Amino acid sequence: MNLARLGFPSLFSGASFSRDFTASIVVFLVALPLCMGIAIASGVPPEKGLITGIIGGIVVGALAGSPLQVSGPAAGLAVIVFELVRDHGLSALGPILVLAGAIQFVAGVFRMGGWFRAISPAVVHGMLAGIGALIVVGQFHVLFDAKPLANGLSNLAAMPARLLGLGTMNVAAAEIAFAIGTLTILSMLVWERVRPASMKLVPGALIGVLVGTLAAALLGLPIVRVDVPNSIVAAIDAPGQGFLGRMMEPALLVTAVAIAFIASAETLLSAAAVDRMHNGVRTDYDKELRAQGVGNLLCGFAGALPMTGVIVRSSANVQAGAMTRLSAILHGGWLLAFVALLPWLLREIPMAALAGVLVVTGWRLVSVSHVRHLFHHHGPLPVVIWLATFVMVVATDLLTGVLVGLGLSLLELVPNLRRLRLDVHERHEEEHSEIRLAGAATFLTIPKLLKALESIPGHRRQVRLDLRDVPAIDHSSAEMLAEWIQRRRSGGTQVNLDGEAPGLRRMAA
């Protein structure tokens, strides 16, 4: 095997090793509480999330098509896993992840990465907002050392009773747990507002968990704490009898397709966001899909949580100065070492403290600013798509919400039914490239358009996009084009637009 072709020798060069080493510690500190918290929100033991984080770091980090993206358990899948475990048991998770991983790997082999990027941003952000709301209302009950109820609406309806049941005269476990959870949330928010510049890389989630854990330990509070085994090996559930047979159950097949679809969309959108943060190697979306497929296959065989590329840990990686994939790999190694050597320390963490971290994480997924952005640049239809996806995810389930959002996205095609074909003409010279488009730019044409744009060499000094024969650009295509233009301009390329596209010009400015 030629390791040079995989880029491994360069990982240990003096120019990048020290920065990757430092960044890996920052990412580890961000990932540790999130891996456990997301597992708890998914209705599984916390060590399952840690196993996924380890695999996502060491294995997927080595294979990924996005070198600076970090993979691990994602809040975006917590709700669907919670419902799966509730309805079919923990034993169903392994077979489903093996199927989902196989689907992702095959999708990468057949170069379908561009199609996942064609999913409407309104659908993706509406889905994430719905997931965030469900995490908040579910973890709200864990703040009281109670278990979440069966669904989002039940959790929401029970919230007032939890608060009204608190008392100051007869302080019991619920009141104490709520105080620790509240302390964790306040510590996170205050730290992120007042932390000095020299400590800007110390994550708020870590500070919140540390404050909550220390308060509980020093005061000897009788509240529920995290329960992890002494050995991480004991947490691995190897495939048992009937493992393969469960893959054929129709309900599990549908769930596997849903997990593969949602995990792939979230991963590739996260990778696109990471690309905007740096000027290094661009993401190979098909290679990233194959790496995620391998990761989820391994998580399935280990009985762990599903994984995706995750934007919070990835952005921390870039901001901490990571230069190569070594940072992601090392963060997985730190997780493994910590879990193997210090499991007793993890058992001191209150469940209410992790719930506090997840309440903040879930709240931040509900991005009202993105709704304002959609309305300002694209009008009311994308906002309707976002709102419908959000409401259906909260009121019914994740898959129904996504399908409703995708169905409404088809309305954007109606005005352009007679001109759906998009012709892409390319002309490349030594210092100049030109892309001329003819026809409507819709989400159906994003894979073709992306292929042409990504084929332009990075050293081009000038790129001209001719949109004079483009009568319409839907919001999915406009968002993708604006992102590409901003990235190329930040890299020093002069990108000129010809044609009437005021909304695109405004976003790309």
Q: Are residues 211 and 227 in the same domain?
A: yes
- d(CA 77, CA 73) in angstroms, rounded, equals 8
Q: Are residues 386 and 486 in the same domain?
A: no
Average pLDDT over residues 11-17: 66
Distant-in-sequence, close-in-space partners of 306: CB < 8 Å, separation ≥ 6: 52, 73, 74, 77, 81, 97, 100, 259, 263, 296, 299
Most confident segment among 3-12, 150-159, 300-309, 317-326: 300-309
Within a domain: residue 359? no
Q: How confident is the model at residue 4 (pLDDT cuts 50, 70, 90)?
A: very low
Q: How confident is the model at residue 178 (pLDDT cuts 50, 70, 90)?
A: very high
Q: Are residues 218 and 116 in the same domain?
A: yes
Average pLDDT over residues 137-149: 88
Within a domain: residue 10? no
Q: How confident is the model at residue 131 (pLDDT cuts 50, 70, 90)?
A: confident
| pLDDT 10s digits, 197-224 | 888 888 888 999 999 999 999 999 989 9
| pLDDT 10s digits, 272-314 | 878 877 777 888 999 999 999 999 999 999 999 999 998 888 9
- d(CA 480, CA 248) in angstroms, rounded, equals 37
Within a domain: residue 356? no
Q: How confident is the model at residue 7 (pLDDT cuts 50, 70, 90)?
A: very low
| pLDDT score recorded for residue 6 | 47
DSSP 57: I
Distant-in-sequence, close-in-space partners of 507: CB < 8 Å, separation ≥ 6: 377, 478, 479, 482
Among 318, 346, 374, identify where a domain stops.
Answer: 346
| pLDDT 10s digits, 28-67 | 988 999 899 899 889 999 999 999 999 999 999 999 999 9
Q: How confident is the model at residue 171 (pLDDT cuts 50, 70, 90)?
A: low
Of 183 and 201, more confident: 183
Q: Are residues 105 and 246 in the same domain?
A: yes
Name the nearest CA neighbour of 280 among 491, 58, 509: 491
Q: Are residues 293 and 404 in the same domain?
A: no
Q: How confident is the model at residue 100 (pLDDT cuts 50, 70, 90)?
A: very high
Within a domain: residue 196? yes
CATH classification at residue 478 = 3.30.750.24
Q: Are residues 409 and 435 in the same domain?
A: no
The boundaries of the domain holding residue 105 are 16-346
Within a domain: residue 301? yes
Among 346, 374, 403, identify where a domain stops.
Answer: 346
Q: Are residues 293 and 375 in the same domain?
A: no
Q: Are residues 205 and 116 in the same domain?
A: yes
Number of domains comprising the chain: 3
Q: How confident is the model at residue 381 (pLDDT cuts 50, 70, 90)?
A: very high
Token code pair at residue 10: 């360069």
Q: Are residues 51 and 142 in the same domain?
A: yes
**Average pLDDT over the chain, rounded to an integer:** 87
pTM above 0.85, yes or no: no
Residue 301, CB-side half-sphere exposure with 13 Å CA sphere: 8
CA distances from 457 to 65, 139, 482, 485, 494 (A): 18, 47, 18, 14, 13
| pLDDT score recorded for residue 502 | 66
Residue 1 pLDDT exceeds 50: no
Q: Are residues 380 and 494 in the same domain?
A: no
Within a domain: residue 227? yes
| pLDDT score recorded for residue 12 | 57
Bin 492: left if φ > 0, else alpha if -120 < ψ < 50, else beta.
left
Average pLDDT over residues 395-420: 86
| pLDDT score recorded for residue 275 | 81
| Bridge partners (DSSP) listed for residue 497 | 465
| pLDDT score recorded for residue 201 | 81
Within a domain: residue 351? no
Percent of the chain with pLDDT over 90: 40
Q: Are residues 425 and 402 in the same domain?
A: no
Within a domain: residue 125? yes
Average pLDDT over residues 11-32: 82
Q: Are residues 374 and 477 in the same domain?
A: no
Say if CB 305 and CB 49 are below 8 A apart.
Answer: yes
Among 301, 317, 346, identify where a domain stops.
Answer: 346
